[in-house]
Each structure stands twice: as structure tokens, then as C-alpha cells.
Amino acid sequence: MAIKIALAHPRRECAAKLASYLRETEPEWDVSAFTQTAALRVGLREIGGTDLIVGHPDMLRDLVPLPVPPGRMAALVEQAGEAGDEWPEIWLYQPLPAIAASIRGLVSDAAAGEACRLWTMFSASGGAGKTAAALNLARLAGERGMRVLYLNLEPINATAALTGNPDPDSLPRLMYALQADPERFSAEWPRCVRYHPRLLAEFVGAPEWPAEREAMTADLLERFIGQLRAMGRYDLVVADPDSGVSNWHARLISLSSRVLWLVPDEWQGVGKAERLAGYWRDYWPEWEAKVAFVRSKGLGAAPPRWNLPAPPAATLPYVPQWKRMEDPGRLFGAAAYSGVLEELLRRWI
């Protein structure tokens, strides 16, 4: 997979000269150059995840919110101290090989320091809005320049209207490679994923038949996630499973860095969440540390009953326009809804 580098400098000759040199000397790098902040912001979205941004300090400061996690930005400076304590500095007026060496070192540091996070969107009951939340979260992370995988783990695919389903045999092929020859998994992966420009993330085509996903046992799931993390291809994997109480669901939660547990804003949804939380607490108390309970389809005041282990971390509002939606892309157009997820993303990264 190509390492994606974005160069940003207001002087066109500086950006073009450095970009040309890096393309010649680092053929495994995908280098883009920008001279305006607005174009940089748009370009970062179209690139679909960036490994490193190297730019003039003023252009970096104009990127709000920051489009990549900490540790993956560096400032091209004319004098020491121009970037303050915000980013590592690379002196602009030095030989091009020296600049390239500094960038190469930062790329290596970023790759070594960034672990692949797995965030799971979970609910104890159906109809909680997991898929809408997972898709919006993936897109928001993509807008920040993170390398994101949306991982649909539901037995019945409900996202084809948005993403299409370019290859429904992708997941079965990956499962076969995982069991028959694990070393083939990383080689097979690029042929099984697609980048979606509206989602700003990659995704795997979902199986046509529920039994194909259900053949993924808890042990296979763990091996699958382990292979994903070992590839170093993603900063964030957003898992979207079906609701359930099986060992498979418990294993997914145990593997996750964060779990957003959606609780529908009605008495049945709260009651089911309370019962499952109590059941898991009896034999597996560690799960609570990684779970954030989120009220879903909130209609105003908090429900009269809430006996879950923690108060709601946030409330996702009810969006009535989504009930009848001919264009699935409008799923990303609710500012109040995405604002809640943006705040959770900012809090946890």
C-alpha cells in the first residue's frame, strides 16, 4: 500500500520542487502538493487517509479541526521555533536529500506509534440506528484524514444502497485465506476492499447470504481482527455487527478499543440493555471500562428509567427525514447528529 504524503506550502516553486524530488526518490510514496489551505482541505478528503502532512506552519494552523491524529504532521520552517511546540520542524533551506530523510524518519515514527483502533457500534436490541451511527462515525474520521475501514459484520447487508456491493464473495474469500493459508490474507486484502468517496473510508463487500457471515466463529473473528491490525493499513476500523448476546458478540467487544452501545430512547430498548449489561457484569466485569452508553433517537428529556452502569455519554437525536430517504447519501447531512459523533471522536482520539 502506498504511503500518502501531503505537502503544503504557499510558494508554488517550493511545493512543486520538493514533491517532484520525493516522487523520483521514493516511488512507494503517493505525494500530493498544495499551495492553498482550502485546496489542501479538499484534497485530504479526496485522498482517503494521509500518513503524513508536511507544510508551512500557517497552513497547518488553518486546518481546523486537525485532519490527522497527533504525530502525523510536521512543519516546514525557515527559522527554528516557528512551529512552537505544536509539530516537529523540518528546515526548508537544506539539501533535498536531507529534507527527504527527515520526512522518511517521521513516516517511520508514525507507523510505529499508531495502533489500529477497533471501535464497535453495538446495541442489545434491533432498530437502534447502529448502521447510521457507524457510517457517520467512519465518515467523520475520514474527514480528519484517518485511514478508515467500515467493517459490516451484519448477517444481512443493509448498506448496499449506499456503497453498492461490488464483490459479495470478498468476505468468504478472506475467511478461506485466513484458514487455509494465513500469509495469503494480506495479499488477498487489496483485491477485496474498495474506497467509497462519499463514506471517505474503505469497505469490504458484504456476503449475499447470512450463513456466510455466520460461519465466522468467535475464534475466526479474533484472527481476522488480528490480521487487520497487523497489516498497518488503518488507523480506525468501525465495526457494525448485528445486535446479539452470543459469545461472538462478547468476543468482538473484548477485542474492541471502544464500544459505543446505543440504547434506543424507549422503555424496551433501555430494559434490554439493562438486562444484558447485568448478565455480562456477572462473569465479565472488564467490559465496562471500554463501553460508552449513547442514547439513540433521543426525543428530549432523559428516559425515566436508566439503571445502566454509567450515565449516557451522549444523545444522538432522532432524525425523522431518514424514515423516507431516496438518496442514502443524505444520511450524512444531519448536522446535529454528526456533531454529537464528532464530539465523541474528538474526545477519544
Q: Which amino acid is at 163?
A: T
> Does residue 94 surpass a pLDDT of 70?
yes
Predicted local distance difference test score (pLDDT) of residue 49: 65
Domains for the chain: give ranges and CATH numbers. 3-113 (3.40.50.10850), 117-348 (3.40.50.300)
Task: State the average pLDDT for the chain.
Answer: 84
Predicted local distance difference test score (pLDDT) of residue 302: 66
Q: Which amino acid is at 304?
A: P
Counting every residue written for the chain, the total comes to 349
Cβ-contact 6, 44 below 8 angstroms: yes
Interval 170-193: pLDDT, tens: 888 898 888 888 888 888 998 889
Residue 269 pLDDT level (bands cut at 50, 70, 90): confident
| Least confident residue range of 131-145, 159-173, 232-246, 301-315 | 159-173
Predicted local distance difference test score (pLDDT) of residue 159: 77
How far apart, in whole angstroms, are the C-alpha atoms of residue 180 and residue 108? 32
Give the cell for residue 133: 451511527
Q: Which amino acid is at 159?
A: T
Residue 166 pLDDT level (bands cut at 50, 70, 90): low
CA angle 132, 344, 294 (to 5 degrees): 60
How far apart, in whole angstroms, are the C-alpha atoms of residue 61 and residue 57? 6
